[in-house]
Amino acid sequence: MRYLKFALAKGRLANKLLDLFENIGITMDEMRDPDTRKLIFTNEELGIEMFLAKASDVPTYVEYGAADIGVVGKDTLLEAGRKLYEVLDLGFGKCRMCVCGPAEAAELLEHGRLIRVASKYPEIARDYFYNRRHQTVEIIKLNGSVELAPIVGLSEVIVDIVETGTTLRENGLTVLDEICPLSARMVVNPVSMKMENARIRELIRRIREQLPQ
């Protein structure tokens, strides 16, 4: 039997997925060890291999077929824009992609001004401003702590993930518009979907049974 290969986004999503897998009898004990530096884990009995990758690289592994299946946030999938089948909304890691800024910046959006938008997600920001709002903006790519940008005057607004809203609140910022809801998704390589159809469909069916309706 060929190994079914999974690429998982490192961190919280991977741990949640392991819980889900345990419920359907797929165990990867070694992966639970917080001190391990190993990147690939195998369950020989079930013919499964799992590896941990940086979230933004998961769609790449799956598109090229280095992994048959990926588990990653919808934010990363939208930003990467790769040709994958999105087969399951796993329902965890829920948050929202939003346009945020100081309350006064709402006016700049309404009047379609040429503003600067800082984001870790330049493609999502571009799609939102150009295709949904038809507003020309300057997009500035950042790599983290994006909330800083409007505070120090790098940009008027940001496009970023809001989960509890604490980061915004503690920095005097607010949600100006919601772009889309986000959560962890399972994606499949289109060729793997054909070649390993029965195994993958059975896996999806068993996971779906575990998800709240």
Q: Judged by CB under 6 A, which of 27, 167, 171, 183 binds ligand PRP?
A: 167
Binders of ligand PRP in range 131-160 (CB under 6 A): 144-147, 160
Q: Using the minimum distance from each CB to ligand PRP, give the nearer residue, 131 or 164.
A: 164
Q: Running DSSP on this structure, what letter comes out for residue 147?
A: T
163 near ligand PRP (CB under 6 A):
yes
| Closest to 107 measured CA to CA, from 162, 176, 154 | 176
178 near ligand PRP (CB under 6 A):
no
Closest distance to ligand PRP from the beta carbon of 160 (Å): 5
Q: Using the minimum distance from each CB to ligand PRP, give the nearer residue, 11 or 190.
A: 11
Locate 181 and state its tokens: 């809801």
* Beta strands 85-89 and 174-182, pairing class: unpaired
Closest distance to ligand PRP from the beta carbon of 161 (Å): 4
Rounded to whole angstroms, the Cα distance separating 56 from 12 reads 14
Q: Judged by CB under 6 A, which stretch of 51-59, 101-109, 132-140, 161-169 contacts ligand PRP?
A: 161-169
* Placement of tokens 């069916």 in the chain: 205
Q: At what angle do helices 12-23 and 197-210 cross, to 10 degrees?
A: 100
CB 28 within 8 A of CB 19: no
Q: Using the minimum distance from each CB to ligand PRP, give the nearer residue, 8 or 146.
A: 146
CB 183 within 8 A of CB 76: no
Q: Judged by CB under 6 A, which of 9, 20, 69, 162 binds ligand PRP?
A: 162
Residue 118's φ and ψ, nearest 5 degrees, are: -100, 140
Binders of ligand PRP in range 27-46 (CB under 6 A): none
Closest distance to ligand PRP from the beta carbon of 168 (Å): 6
171 near ligand PRP (CB under 6 A):
no
Rounded to whole angstroms, the Cα distance separating 53 from 60 reads 10
Cα(first)–Cα(last) distance of the chain, in Å?
33
122 near ligand PRP (CB under 6 A):
no
164 near ligand PRP (CB under 6 A):
yes
161 near ligand PRP (CB under 6 A):
yes
Residue 182's φ and ψ, nearest 5 degrees, are: -130, 155
Count of chain residues binding ligand PRP (CB under 6 A): 13
- Chain residues that interact with ligand PRP, rule: CB under 6 A: 120, 144-147, 160-167
